[in-house]
Amino acid sequence: MKSDTIATSNPTSLVDALRTVPGLDITESGGPGGTTNIRMRGGNTGQTLVMIDGIRINDPTAASGDYDFAMFAPSSIDRIEVLKGPQSALYGSDAMTGVINIITRSGTGPAQFNVRSEGGSYGTASTAASLSGSQGPWSYAFTGSGQHSNGFSRFGYRIPALEAKFPNLERDGFDRVGGSARISYDAGDLKLEAGILSTFTRSAYDAAYNASSKTVQFPDTPNSATRQLDQVWGKASFDSLNGLLTHSVTLSETHVERSFNEFAYKTNTLPQNTTTTFSSYLANSAAAEYQATLKLGAFGSLVYGAKSQHETADIWQVSAPAANPPVAALSKSQDTNAIFALWQVPIGERLNVTLGGRVDDVADVARFETWRATAAYSIAETGTKLRASAGTGAKAPTLYQLYAPLTASPGLSPETSFGYDAGIDQSLFNGRVVLSVTGFANDFSNLINYVVDVARPNGYYVNVARAETSGIEVGSTVDIVPGLLKFNAAYTYLHAIDLANGSILARRPKNLVRFALAITPTDRWTIEPRVTTVSKRFDKANQVGELGAYTRVDLYSEYRIDANWKVFARGENILNAHYQEALNFGTTGPAAYAGFNATW
């Protein structure tokens, strides 16, 4: 996914750009700034590895080890790479269903300054700026951004039954600031790179709510959360054996800090009946990785390497009005060492095959092996590419699952999976029609579930679950009238089943369709209506909490004034669809935004 696709989406929500990728299902709990998760090909949220510039950012303090996409804004992004299917053979734990690699901007050519700003509904304002370029062997890129939105109530907004029961819902807005810097020095045989980024988000949110439970009487609470993501990395690459063998060494440090200030009311909202709980989550991940590429001529190339990673997770909680000191709910660390190899070999002029494997050793937890094989056959005469892959995935139990008080299970084993896919990429009519069709299937075993029984009424984690997913992904681009009309579409059919009881897995729609029609009346003006249709799904396991099907229509338009300036406008949900991505959480009503983009 390129930067121009990202630029025309919502600048306050990274995942809005990812919604165009077949096979991804996205849930924002109450709009931008709320907890945001991604599931790939029907897997769980923690089974997708998320990286920034190749550096892992999954959160060691999260129960499932996933990454909350509310922590990052699109302004620093140059492009996003999405790898689907089991990828643990090269990337290790968490890459069971795929990898999302966010690549930040880098510099090339003469110095260029860009600023983009927009404002609109819900008191939303966003501005981002960047400076990038290169001079001799040096290149650089610097970005900075700020966003603000008054938002809408994350709980109950535009859900008539809840708005009637809880009138005067308060707005839940957010603020975000962030920036990044990337510098490199390329002397030919030696290349040095370094990057740093930081993002801080402050948002309001509401308590969860279950109409059949009396545990939450007042869900529209003045809760607040902060999220901080910091990352720094350095990489050195150099050649040997006259360029036949290339080496790279990468050192990185990632810091994730989340805090939540939660309110709960007993019988009413008077101060004497109010309880406040403050929770702090601190995670650090330091890693060192060596990777080499050996060119083998007619026998292709061999990529091999090793990685060592040290993670820490610290969770603290304190409640008021009780005068108790902060309680350490978790303070643990974990070391993972891995070796991997990938052989890429051409067979003839049309067939390319890869074979890869990896061994991960999680200290005092488990050792697991994974593999992956792919094949691609190209027929240039017909514009056809046939491809297939198969492999295994694995996910080590998280520090929270292993060691959290009351719910911990130190003897947990890694989750495992086997997956395969096959597809075709077809170009027709001199490239005016491009079609991609992929069928896939995954079998998940040893999944870690949270269960409650008589022996442990507080609940605990255990390897008990099995699931299977299968489906079809379709992507197409049709240049209907060159220079005037261009059609893009993405469709996913998903069959996702809990093998314990045959029920549909939570938040997995069977059908998801997105398409857009880019209309270019002149070479300066673009109009693009976008349509998203999602079938019904269930919010919780065992097909509980049905979420209705919906169709949402958005509209984007931009006008290029000259080589430096353009103005744009976008409308969200312009036909006023009422829908929910998560049960009882609101979504945007009809909204309009406008702004400008300038480059010098």
CA dist., res. 524 & res. 513, Å (int): 29
Which position has the higher pLDDT, 22 or 303? Answer: 303
**pLDDT digits 0-9 by tens, 474-530:** 999 999 999 999 999 999 999 999 998 999 999 999 999 999 999 999 999 999 999
**pLDDT digits 0-9 by tens, 554-598:** 999 999 999 999 999 999 999 999 999 999 999 999 999 999 999
CA dist., res. 496 & res. 540, Å (int): 13
Look-up of token digits 């673009």: 526
Q: How would you label 88-100 residue by residue, b for 16+ Cβ within 10 Å and e otherwise? A: bbbbbbbbbbbbb
Which helix (H) or strand (E) segment is 111 a member of?
Answer: none
DSSP β-ladder status, 138-149 and 124-135: antiparallel
Residue of 482, 382, 495 whose CA lies nearest to 439: 495
Q: How would you label 566-579 residue by residue, b for 16+ Cβ within 10 Å and e otherwise? A: bebbbbbbbeebeb
CA dist., res. 31 & res. 419, Å (int): 32
Q: Flag whether pLDDT at 379 surpasses 80.
A: yes
CA dist., res. 488 & res. 98, Å (int): 23
Q: Give CA separation, 68 vs 18, 175, 353, in Å.
A: 14, 16, 35
Would residue 550 be called left, alpha or beta, if left means φ above 0 and alpha means ψ between -120 and 50 degrees? beta
- pLDDT at residue 75, as a whole number: 80
89-103, 203-217, 324-338, 429-443: segment of lowest average pLDDT: 203-217
Reply yes or no: is the peptide bond before residue 321 cis, omega within 30 of 0.
Answer: yes
Which position has the higher pLDDT, 454 or 348? Answer: 348
CA dist., res. 345 & res. 342, Å (int): 10
3-state SS class at 91: helix
Give me 289's structure tokens: 């990785």
Q: Flag whether pLDDT at 215 surpasses 60.
A: no
Structural contact between residues 533 and 551, judged by C-beta atoms closer than 8 angstroms: yes
**Band of pLDDT at residue 123, cut at 50, 70 and 90:** very high
> 291 phi and psi, to 5 degrees?
-140, 140
- If one counts every other C-beta atom within 10 angstroms of the C-beta of residue 479, the result is 17
**pLDDT digits 0-9 by tens, 133-153:** 999 999 999 999 999 999 999
CA dist., res. 158 & res. 418, Å (int): 41
| Residues forming beta bridges with residue 178, ordered by sequence position | 145, 199
Look-up of token digits 């605990």: 460
Residues constituting the chain:
600
**pLDDT digits 0-9 by tens, 219-270:** 888 999 999 999 999 999 999 998 899 999 999 999 999 999 998 887 777 8
- As a whole-number percent, the residues of the chain with pLDDT over 70 amount to 97
**pLDDT digits 0-9 by tens, 67-116:** 988 888 778 888 899 999 999 999 999 999 999 999 999 999 999 999 99
Residue type at position 343: W
Structural contact between residues 461 and 408, judged by C-beta atoms closer than 8 angstroms: yes
Q: Flag whether pLDDT at 35 surpasses 90.
A: no
- pLDDT at residue 328, as a whole number: 80
Would residue 364 be called left, alpha or beta, if left means φ above 0 and alpha means ψ between -120 and 50 degrees? left
The whole-number average pLDDT for the span 186-209 is: 91
CA atoms within 13 A on the CB side of 575: 13
- Please state, rounded to an integer, the average pLDDT across all residues of the chain: 92
- pLDDT at residue 2, as a whole number: 62
The whole-number average pLDDT for the span 441-457 is: 90
The whole-number average pLDDT for the span 433-441 is: 97
- pLDDT at residue 459, as a whole number: 87
- pLDDT at residue 524, as a whole number: 95
CA dist., res. 174 & res. 226, Å (int): 10
Q: What would the DSSP string read from start to end of 28-85?
A: ETTSTTS-EEEEETT--GGGEEEEETTEE---TTSTT----GGG--GGGEEEEEEEES
Give me 464's structure tokens: 């008990």
- pLDDT at residue 3, as a whole number: 61
Give just the sign of the alpha carbon dihedral 51, 466, 493, 536: negative
Statement: the pTM of the whole predicted model exceeds 0.85 = yes
Which helix (H) or strand (E) segment is 126 a member of?
Answer: strand 124-135
Q: Flag whether pLDDT at 212 surpasses 60.
A: no
Q: Flag whether pLDDT at 213 surpasses 60.
A: no
**pLDDT digits 0-9 by tens, 406-418:** 788 888 999 999 9
Q: Give CA separation, 223 vs 166, 208, 275, 581, in Å.
A: 16, 11, 12, 20
Q: Flag whether pLDDT at 218 surpasses 90.
A: no
Structural contact between residues 406 and 382, judged by C-beta atoms closer than 8 angstroms: no
**Band of pLDDT at residue 272, cut at 50, 70 and 90:** confident
- Burial status of residue 115 (CB atoms within 10 A of its CB: 0-12, 13-18, 19 or more): middle
Q: Flag whether pLDDT at 209 surpasses 80.
A: no
- As a whole-number percent, the residues of the chain with pLDDT over 90 amount to 77
- pLDDT at residue 4, as a whole number: 65
Give me 407's structure tokens: 């719910």
Look-up of token digits 């190339």: 301
- pLDDT at residue 530, as a whole number: 96
Q: Give start and end residues of each alpha helix (H) in 128-210.
A: 160-165
- pLDDT at residue 10, as a whole number: 75
Q: Which residues touch 323 (CB under 8 Å, ≥6 apart)?
A: none
Q: Flag whether pLDDT at 183 surpasses 70.
A: yes
Structural contact between residues 113 and 600, judged by C-beta atoms closer than 8 angstroms: yes
CA dist., res. 153 & res. 172, Å (int): 5
